[in-house]
Amino acid sequence: MAKVHIAAEIGGAMLKPIYFFPFPGDPDSDGYEAAIPDMEGTMFTGLGIVIQNRPCNSVLCMSEYLHGRMQTSIVGCFFDDTVHCI
């Protein structure tokens, strides 16, 4: 688990690890991948201000102290028409 800032100035994201979950074993062995738990979907947790909230899309503005200063990120979540939106 990590804090993240989507940084346009570097064309990517900056991460600051908060929790690290090691999985013992030899990563080069053939069976190592099978021992790692599967995630059934993408997990995202954020705390911020919702700046847009409509059926099938939301936009969240988040600020977090990261890498020595306050960083602001805008995160959008958009679902296609295969997802039932309420």
Task: Please tell me the predicted confidence (pLDDT) of residue 41.
Answer: 65
- pLDDT at position 73 is 81
Q: What is the dihedral of CA 35, 36, 37, 42, to 10 degrees?
A: -160
Provide mean pLDDT across the span 72-86. Answer: 71
Residue 54's Cβ-side half-sphere holds a number of Cα atoms within 13 Å equal to 6
> Bigger pLDDT: 70 or 4?
70
Tens digit of each residue's pLDDT (9 = 90 or more) over 2-22: 777 777 777 777 777 777 677
Work out the average pLDDT over 58-69.
81
pLDDT tens, residue by residue, 18-51:
776 777 788 888 888 887 777 676 666 677 788 8
pTM metric for this prediction: 0.46
The residue ranges of every structural domain in the chain are: 2-78
The Cα–Cα gap between 19 and 15 comes to 12
Among residues 83, 76, 81, which one has the least CA distance to residue 52?
76
